[in-house]
Structure 1
């Protein structure tokens, strides 16, 4: 019950101006279609003669040229707006969303490979794919009082090249997020703020002096939050917030 209410609440929160615009355009399009039939000189167009709609159209007909012209103008303008603006922009947005989704998936796989190479040295790619699921990631690295997780951290401490590899993965993800922020009109303020905070946090991890002293500690904490779906405020979660935010773009 609570889960159902939560989903309804999320759906309402995600209702943005674009969805309102769609409803408004559809409503006025229906009004315009009515105006075309009601305002035309002929009460019934030839292909509707003899149909069940003919009596209704005869009753609605007012023969007003102003209503007819305004209705036709609106429908034509809406058609060209959809053709020239809406559909190309929607396609572009879909491409950018898919690119970010792939970049995020690559980030998870590549960082997991780095952690595994530090923790257990040898592994197969099937394990990497499996650990992209936050439940499997937690179970794998939590085993035996986080023995594997601490082995991964020790491996990072001993190999600065691995740390640099992680920083490179973070930078590539940050660049993709920054590109989305610069090129996609994100109407939901929560989604926009989420990606902005994510980008700012990555930038601080890479550049702020406060993180440089214990780089492995802060990097591993950030990676655990992402891969295990855990944060300091809400604790353990069963959803990938970054993935959900990407899907809402």
Structure 2
């Protein structure tokens, strides 16, 4: 049996591309989603990848979800923490709900999903934890204090867990994409989009498949000496 990879938010956007790429690379893949049943159903039909619905911001749901995945697919060897949302507002206008929703989904979820799988990885002497951060977790962005705080927190989590896990055969890394053509940008006006692309030296948005290829590499044996790192993929927009 091949290694099992599990992707949160894994049926659409970057997550969907990651799930597909991991399956093409030979992994037994399962994907989580939160609310879009139609998209998940279409994804499952198209890819034959099993899907599981729960809120990754809920720790108990994650514990139960991991048990369900491992009973059906097998012990999780590669965890991709991809699930994320945005609730943009300037801080002086941001509600506590907007703050909490983003922290819960984008940062709490990384603990909620990693904690139930880390002991199994340690016992088996192998694991990959790959978390999707963001260019905005590295440089900050106006109107995104909640999102930037969460994505920066993902990088800190990654570094600490990498130190804890290195001698157990587990690598822990983050990927920080720049602006990628996904649904998260669907509401952006044409003028704002032009301004965004104008800040990217290569002159275009990224593609979800380009991020997915980074995940596949970090999941592989070829990346076994890479841990605690943040792989930036942003067309040269930010160099850290």
Instruction: Tell me which of the two structures has the higher relative contact order, counting C-alpha pairs closer than 8 angstroms and 6 or more residues apart.
Output: 2
| Structure whose CA Rg is larger | 1
Greater fraction helix: 1
Larger strand percent: 2
The TM-score by the shorter chain falls in which range? under 0.3
TM-score (norm 1): 0.23
Q: What is the TM-score normalised by the length of structure 2?
A: 0.24
